[in-house]
Chains A and B, each alone.
Chain A
Amino acid sequence: MTEAPMTMPNPSLPAEAEIVERIQESGSIYTLRLRMTDQARHAAYTFAPGQFNMVYLQGIGEVPISIVSDPEDDTVLDHTIRAVGRVTRGLEQLGAGQRVGIRGPFGRGWPLDQACGRDVVLITGGLGCAPLVSVINYVVKRRERFGRLVILQGVKHTDDLIWHERYMAWAKLPDTQVLLAADIAGQGWPHHVGLVTELIDRARFDRDNAIAMMCGPERMMQACAEALLARNMATENLWLSMERNMHCGVGHCGHCQLGPHFVCRDGPVFNYTELAPLLGVRGF
């Protein structure tokens, strides 16, 4: 049959990475700050906000984790993780100096090029804020390229909110609005009590020249998308980051399929129009 190069790239093979720092963000959420030990490989690594790596814990397995650091930070790759499964609970036990495997970046990131010159509305729920923190940092560092920055973040309980100081710092930036919500408010919670969708009416942005990016539970994203559409935003300006079971990261293993889409490869960031027919349909 046809000749093929004997040394083709192997998207399944991880590279060794060192944990430069481990940061406890909340009771169950931590950030692993990683650097590939092969310096040339680390230097050559580039990613777009919204893309993810497969992070490997020896003997247990791999998990897809979005990259939350700035794409132009060439020193470390930050991965913010909630300990929920076998791999993420195992990774939680590791500390600075220990090694993991990473491979990536995979998937399609946020449409930052389309956000240029427009109001950027970011709506997140729970740890869904992580895949959009890199977008916030990206916009903040290049403030002149974008219009207003509107950040809406909702959590179930105030204890689940990470990066509170960062939100407060972003709130002080010009042309920036930060609104936080918690379903269950702890003592002294100065923000909204309720759902993140309820914040949309308080968000100030030009609906005709805005792009909305959402990440969080699907029902939350669906409700937010409907609220934005009710405010006459165009469907093509709504973007959602989806989550599905992923083993390979390159659209081969089949687990992440959502109708015709391979979430790992065609997403995880999708335009609302691509998802609309199956969004919220049980079983997809």
Chain B
Amino acid sequence: MGKSHRVLASHALDTLLAALRDDGYRCVGPQLRDGAIVFDTLHHAADLPWGWQDEQAPGHYRLQHADPSRAFAWANGPQAIKPLTFAPRETLWESRIEADGRMQFTATLPAEEKVAVIGARACDLAALRLQDQHFLEGAHADPYYAARRRNLFIVAVHCTAPAATCFCASTGDGPLCTAGFDLALHETDEGYLVDAGSEAGTAMIASLSLPAATATRVEQAETAVAAAGERQTRGLPSRNLRDLLFANLDHPQWDDVAARCLSCGNCTAVCPTCFCHAEHDVPLLDANLGRHEREWDSCFTEGHSYLAGIVIRSDTRLRYRQWLTHKLGGWHDQYGRSGCTGCGRCITWCPVGIDLTEEVARIHATGGGHD
């Protein structure tokens, strides 16, 4: 595994999709919809966003025409892997009260479905790693997440087109994909270079009988990815901001950002690491039946911190502070690193263009941060 790149011609992407389908996978990949790049079932390589690139800025996302020979010349869309493993909404179990008063519970685990996701980025892989830690590696593994995760095959594509909002180089998560994939592709002017990151990936490459890539071509491709990292202008002042943020819980910047923040939760919805979800019963017409669901939740909602008649985070200042001190602080205690992988989605999809790197920079500049 690794550093044994093979060459896949551009027109052979369909061969790869067919091979994945032959192995029982439903292919999911990036496509154009409603003016954005979204991930959905991918039938043909022709459905990939050939010749499109994304222009991203705080509160801004537009697609533009670009090199028609490229299918992956964009940075990212609002979602990638997260909805495939951590379902936005799902039923956990159903209950039934029998005529004799007994109560029965039935788990509604997702059907085993093999899914191959094409076009994941390094920031997405780092985020998936964090979601794995959260949902699978504690004392209680989540069987719903696990069922989807174990059936996932990942075809990553190294990013050569970071958006202005991207800062994966700063968080150390990209743009080169280094782990967590089955296959990783370099998109070059002369087709794709494929590398395996797992046994399943190695077997897939072997089944395609692809010619080996020359060291020079691999080096050129990796140079292009490294250059993409160097083009990134945003960043965080440190990979560990835990102490800085918790030492500045009364910083005036929290009031400043609260005056702009709508508390809408878009940032948490597009964040690839946010794991909060609410559980609730669905009202059913038949009172003898119960259905218990979970759905993505956000720390920006009033209900998130509801506790026996009070709301712990009753205003936007406390909610934004919770989100940022958790994302860049609490994660270090929980999972050994920051919860941010530099994808920049929270900046782009914020309707008022709040930029967390900017908020952090202001706290860092005046709150005792060190270079």
Chain A residues in contact with chain B, CB under 8 A?
Answer: 1-4, 8-16, 37, 56, 58-62, 84-85, 97-101, 243-245, 247-248, 250-255, 257, 259-260, 262, 265, 277, 281-284
Output the nearest chain B residue to A244 by Cβ-Cβ distance.
B307
Q: Which residues of chain A have C-beta atoms less than 8 A from B138's C-beta?
A: 250-252, 265
- Residues of chain B within 8 A of A259, CB atoms compared: 246, 325, 329-330, 333
Expressed in whole angstroms, the minimum distance between the Cβ of A127 and any Cβ of chain B is: 10
Q: How many A-B contacts if CB must be within 8 Å? A: 155
> B68 on the interface (CB 8 Å rule)?
no
Residue of A nearest to B299 (CB): A254
| Contact of A1 with B150 at beta-carbon distance under 8 Å, contacts A60-B281, A84-B309, A247-B277 already known | yes
A-B residue pairs in contact (CB < 8 Å), sample of 11: A11-B142, A12-B279, A13-B107, A16-B104, A58-B95, A58-B97, A99-B101, A245-B306, A251-B138, A254-B299, A265-B138
Interface size class of B (residues with CB under 8 A): 35 or more
In the complex, which of the residues A11, A12, A101, A252 contacts B95, with contact meaning CB atoms closer than 8 Å? A101
Contact residues in B for A3 (Cβ distance below 8 Å): 150
In Å, the complex CA distance between A157 and B109 comes to: 48
B140 at the interface (CB under 8 A from A): yes
Q: Mark B320-337, 1 if CB is under 8 A from A, else 0.
A: 011001100110111000
Please tell me if B264 contacts chain A, counting CB pairs below 8 Å.
no
A248 to B182, CA, bound (A): 32
CA distance A42 to B334 in the complex (A): 33
Residue pair B200, A255 in contact (C-beta under 8 Å): no
* Smallest CB separation, A267 vs chain B (Å): 14
Question: Quick check: is B3 within 8 A (CB to CB) of the other chain?
Answer: no
**Secondary structure of the B contact surface, majority rule:** mixed
Q: Does the CB pair A59–B281 fall under 8 Å?
A: yes
CB-CB under 8 A from B101, the residues of chain A are 97-99
Q: Is the CB of A1 within 8 A of B152?
A: yes
Q: Is A1 a contact of B306 with CB atoms below 8 Å?
A: no
Known: A244-B307, A248-B279. 20 other contacts (CB 8 A): A1-B182, A2-B150, A13-B92, A16-B103, A58-B97, A84-B309, A85-B309, A99-B102, A100-B103, A101-B95, A245-B304, A245-B306, A252-B138, A252-B142, A253-B276, A255-B305, A259-B246, A260-B333, A277-B246, A283-B313
